[in-house]
Amino acid sequence: MNNIKEIQPLLKASKSPKVVITTHHKPDADALGSSLGLLNYLLKIGIQANVVTPTDYGDFLKWMPGESAVINFEEKEKYSQSLVEEADIIFCLDFNALKRINKLGVLVAQSKAIKVLIDHHLEPEGFEQFRLWTTKASSTCELIFWLIELMGDVSAIDEDIASCLYAGIMTDTASFKHGSTTATTHRVAATLLEKGAKSNRIFEAIYDNYSESRTRFIGFCLSEKLQILPEYHTALITVTAEDLKKFKIITGDSEGLVNYGLSITGIKLSVLIIDRTVARKMSFRSKDSFPANEFARKYFNGGGHFNAAGGESLEPIDQVEIKFKAALNEYKNYLN
Ligand code: 5GP
Ligand code: MN
């Protein structure tokens, strides 16, 4: 692996490189914020770049400066393909396994471009030549700040860049609550505020911006769908395709639902199973020593962080629920 500092001469070469920035399936605020923070920074220092996402993302992210230029691979497959094929440098942000970017991953793997990974998830698979990677960073947005700092360019950070990066740090730390929040995280956030990010506006744009039907959907899930498995200190919500249709649920609407289970006294594991058209998607959130990522990897082809992970299954949703409950029994030692 090369030293990340060595990308500086490549980026700032006299013949400006063609840069593509990509991030994971269904980008969240850290994924999109880091991509657009980096995009706005590169444009500011005179480097041409494009953000290509593997899928769409929630409307609550569409305020981000530069968002209108994002290219959704699912909508513009041919164009995305040509950008990836012609790229000199591809930045891969907030993921570290190419399967997390679906069909785009095949194109990135085939591309001759230099690949740079910037990420804070466990166990990178190693497709890149350069990496800025540590699980100790609160977020990929914090890592983008470190990258800009490493390039000696903190002075280039303006309100647009700062707002994108602040959004990802705020959401990935659950508003500076998670254990991943360090003194450095706060210092980075403070610098972003000094550069013009408006914390109240960003909070409102992300968290006070839901549709009425989404709010009713959350109420429905909590009153009708929540199961408590007391012997496992586990909360489970299973959402069927019918539920999604009834409440007209769109991308981003289920964000945060899994956290409610964990807020119940004594609960150590909260799980959400959603019947998405192609697969059953699962989210895991845990407290203490329950290894959510290991559990997701072992039973549901997933991964993630120790206390926040995800996975999926191609089986019918009731089978997934049965399989999950059986798997829990094997992990009961972690839950008592
Ligand atoms: P979420 O529950 O918010 O979708 O995901 C929680 C965490 O788990 C995120 O850090 C995400 O990157 C990771 N994650 C979610 N789904 C998957 C998956 O299918 N595979 C892997 N490897 N990680 C996932
Ligand atoms: Mn992240």
Sequence length of the chain is 336
- Spatial strand order in the sheet of 280-286: 226-229, 234-239, 269-275, 280-286, 308-313, 303-304
> What average pLDDT does range 252-275 have in this prediction?
96
At 111-155, the pLDDT tens digits run 999 999 999 998 899 999 999 999 999 999 999 999 999 999 999
Q: State in Å: Cα 179 to ligand 1 middle.
A: 18
Ligand nearest to the CA of 32: 2
Q: State in Å: Cα 139 to ligand 2 middle.
A: 5
Q: State in Å: Cα 288 to ligand 2 middle.
A: 20
- Encoding tokens for residue 305? 């962080």
Q: Please give the domain boundaries of the chain with CATH numbers for all domains.
A: 4-207 (3.90.1640.10), 212-335 (3.10.310.30)
Distance of alpha carbon 250 from alpha carbon 266, whole angstroms? 32
Statement: residue 336 has pLDDT above 90 = no
Pocket test for ligand 1, best of 28, 57, 121, 293 (most atoms within 8 A of CB): 121
> What average pLDDT does range 228-253 have in this prediction?
96
Q: State in Å: Cα 92 to ligand 2 middle.
A: 12
At 19-69, the pLDDT tens digits run 999 999 999 999 999 999 999 999 999 999 999 999 999 999 999 999 999
At 68-126, the pLDDT tens digits run 999 999 999 999 999 999 999 999 999 999 999 999 999 999 999 999 999 999 889 99
Q: For position 3, what pLDDT does the model report?
A: 87
Would the pTM count as exceeding 0.75?
Answer: yes
At 151-198, the pLDDT tens digits run 999 999 999 999 999 999 999 999 999 889 999 999 999 999 999 999
Pocket test for ligand 1, best of 34, 57, 270, 305 (most atoms within 8 A of CB): 305
Protein residue closest via CA to atom 3 of ligand 1: 283
143 CB-near residues (< 8 Å, 6+ apart): 34, 118, 119, 120, 132, 133, 134, 137
> What average pLDDT does range 316-322 have in this prediction?
98
Protein residue closest via CA to atom 8 of ligand 1: 309
Protein residue closest via CA to atom 13 of ligand 1: 304
> What average pLDDT does range 256-261 have in this prediction?
96
Distance of alpha carbon 51 from alpha carbon 55, whole angstroms? 12
Distance of alpha carbon 127 from alpha carbon 89, whole angstroms? 13
Determine contact, residues 261/235, Cβ cutoff 8 Å: yes
